[in-house]
Each structure stands twice: as C-alpha cells, then as structure tokens.
C-alpha cells in the first residue's frame, strides 16, 4: 500500500490545511497595531463602557481638550474601549461609538 493512500497521511494533510485556514482567519480578523494602539495608547482589555456624565461628552481625535471634536455623546451612549492614554493629569480612553473612533476622557464613564 502506497504511503499516500494511508489513513494517517490523509488525516495529517487535512489537519495541516485546517490549521493554515484557522491561522489565516485569525490574522485577518485581528486589528492592526496602529488601530489598536494609536498615539501611545496602552492596551487594556476590550470592554464596553456607558457614558454616565450628565450633559454632553465630546469624543475627540486625540487625548486632550485641544484635539478636534469628532462626535457628541450623551448619557446612556456606549463606547467600545480598546486602550487608554494619560495626558495632563487625565486618562483618555480610545474607543468606538457606532462607526466613529476617538478619545473620551475618564470622567465621562
């Protein structure tokens, strides 16, 4: 019986193909380093946080009050948080609300 017709050979070939497919899918689904860690932001465990501040909360393009306003958030809105940066005595959380990504200060949550 030829080696290529052995059940073990078929099992190993199938396992190798399945492993390659799984690794490729994982790499494609993972965010790029720049998307997950912008502007020196330190990674934290992904979590969804709810805005608890009364009044408007501004999502900004960078970690600080001087950065461009990207979106206004309201009490009850949620932000998927990926990392945080410390700037001028305040933690700024980088995350996503809807399709908008940006920074929200720690006091909003």
Domain count of the chain? 2
Residue 76 — φ and ψ, nearest 5°?
A: 100, -20
Mean pLDDT of 73-102: 93
Per-residue pLDDT, 94:
95
pLDDT at 71 over 50: yes
* pLDDT tens digits for range 49-63: 999 988 889 999 999
**Do 38 and 87 lie in a common domain?**
yes
Per-residue pLDDT, 2:
62
What count of Cα atoms within 13 Å lies in the side-chain half-sphere of residue 4?
A: 0
| Segments forming the whole domain that contains residue 91 | 33-108
Looking up residue 68, the CATH number of its domain turns out to be 2.30.30.170
**Do 37 and 23 lie in a common domain?**
no
Per-residue pLDDT, 13:
56
Residue 90 — φ and ψ, nearest 5°?
A: -135, 140
**Do 50 and 13 lie in a common domain?**
no
Of 19-28, 62-71, 78-87, least confident by mean pLDDT is 19-28
Over 34-58, what HEC string results?
HHHCHHHCEEEEEEEEECCCCCCEE
**Do 38 and 25 lie in a common domain?**
no
**Do 25 and 78 lie in a common domain?**
no
């Amino acid at each position: 019986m030829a080696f290529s017709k052995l059940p073990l050979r078929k099992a190993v070939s199938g396992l190798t193909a399945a492993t390659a497919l799984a690794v490729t899918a994982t790499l494609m689904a993972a965010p790029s380093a720049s998307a997950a860690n912008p502007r020196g932001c330190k990674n934290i465990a992904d979590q969804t946080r709810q805005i608890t501040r009364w009044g408007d909360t501004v999502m900004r393009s960078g970690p600080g009050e001087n950065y461009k306003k990207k979106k206004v958030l309201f009490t009850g809105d949620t932000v998927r948080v990926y990392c945080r940066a410390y700037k001028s005595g305040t933690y700024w959380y980088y995350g996503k609300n809807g399709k908008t990504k940006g920074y929200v200060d720690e006091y909003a949550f």
